[in-house]
Structure 1
Amino acid sequence: MDIEELLPQQPEGDKKNKKKESPLVSLEKDLDLYADSIREVAIDIIMEGISTHPIFIAHQHSVSIGEVILNREELNTNWTIQASTLEEFVEKGIINPEKKVLFLKSYKKTEDFMCVFVIVPEGANFIYYPYKNKRA
């Protein structure tokens, strides 16, 4: 799933609200800024044998899963990022144990993508965001 799939769709006749930017646009900016730190934490999680499937939680409020690694208030950004694992998501019931195999089939290479569980007021969903250098 790409980040665009989480962006709210504007009704075709709704030209007035088109200027209102989705909070997920700011998420993309923050993920680009955070990418090196997130990649480093993902490698640490794998190398320390904690999990082979790190998951990062992006939110703008507080959540009770994972550990805060990038605090939006401290960094003056829009999104806080917490680090977690597939195992914690299964343990907390966010990923149904029966769906774990299906989730693993869609899980992308940790070297190339960060797995992000994005929480917004309308709900939550997984995205795979590529690590990239935006220095063009």
Structure 2
Amino acid sequence: MDIEELLPQEPEGGKAEEKKQSPLVSLEKDLDLYADSIKEVAVEIMVEGISANPIFIAHQYVVNIGEVILDRKELNTEWTIQASTFEEFVEKGIIQQDKKALFLKSYKKPEDFMCVFVIVPEGANFIYYPYKNKG
């Protein structure tokens, strides 16, 4: 899923100018800023054998899954990022037992993409955000 698919579409009233900026615009900015740190943690999770499928949680609230690795208050950014794993998501019931194979089939290469579980007031969803290749 691309980040654009999560952005709100034109409101039913038809006047696009009236909608406020999506929180996902600031998320994209923060993910670009955090990318190196997130990738470092993802590699660590895989190398240490904790999980082959790291998942990062992006939120602006308090969530009880994973561990905080980038705190928005400390970094003066919009989003806090927590590190977790596919296994923890299954254990907590976020990924249901009967959806495990489907999730793993769609899981993108963690060396190229960060798997981010984005939590916003309207709900939550998984996105895959590419690491920017540095020249």
Residues 118 and 125 of structure 1 are in contact (CA less than 8 Å); yes or no, is this contact kept in structure 2?
A: yes
Which position in structure 1 is the counterpart of 2:45?
A: 45
Instruction: Compute the displacement of 1:16 (Å).
Output: 3.8
Distance in 1, matches of 2:69 and 2:128, equals 18
Instruction: Spell out, residue by residue over 1:11-55, the C-alpha distance to the aligned partner (whole angstroms, 9 max, x if none).
Output: 26224414x211100000000000000000000000011000000
Residues 55 and 86 of structure 1 are in contact (CA less than 8 Å); yes or no, is this contact kept in structure 2?
A: yes
Distance in 2, matches of 1:69 and 1:5, equals 26
Q: Does 1:125 align with 2:125?
A: yes
Length-normalised TM-score, structure 2:
0.95
Residues 71 and 79 of structure 1 are in contact (CA less than 8 Å); yes or no, is this contact kept in structure 2?
A: yes
Residues 32 and 134 of structure 1 are in contact (CA less than 8 Å); yes or no, is this contact kept in structure 2?
A: no
Instruction: Spell out, residue by residue over 1:32-90, the C-alpha distance to the aligned partner (whole angstroms, 9 max, x if none).
Output: 00000000000000001100000000000000000000000000000000000000000
Question: Deviating runs (4+, > 4 A) in structure 1?
Answer: none
- Aligned pair count reads 134
One-letter amino acid of the structure 2 residue matched with residue 83 of structure 1? A
Q: What 5-or-longer segments of structure 2 have no aligned partner?
A: none
Which position in structure 1 is the counterpart of 2:54?
A: 54
Which position in structure 2 is the counterpart of 1:8?
A: 8
Q: Does 1:64 align with 2:64?
A: yes
Greater mean alpha carbon deviation, residues 3-12 or residues 107-116: 3-12
Residues 115 and 126 of structure 1 are in contact (CA less than 8 Å); yes or no, is this contact kept in structure 2?
A: yes
One-letter amino acid of the structure 2 residue matched with residue 98 of structure 1? D
Which position in structure 2 is the counterpart of 1:114?
A: 114
Instruction: Compute the displacement of 1:98 (Å).
Output: 1.2
Length-normalised TM-score, structure 1:
0.94
Say which SS state the counterpart of residue 119 (structure 1) adopts: strand
Which position in structure 2 is the counterpart of 1:25?
A: 25
Counting aligned pairs with the same residue, the percent is 81
User: What do you get for the CA RMSD once the two structures are aligned?
Assistant: 1.4
Q: What 5-or-longer segments of structure 1 have no aligned partner?
A: none
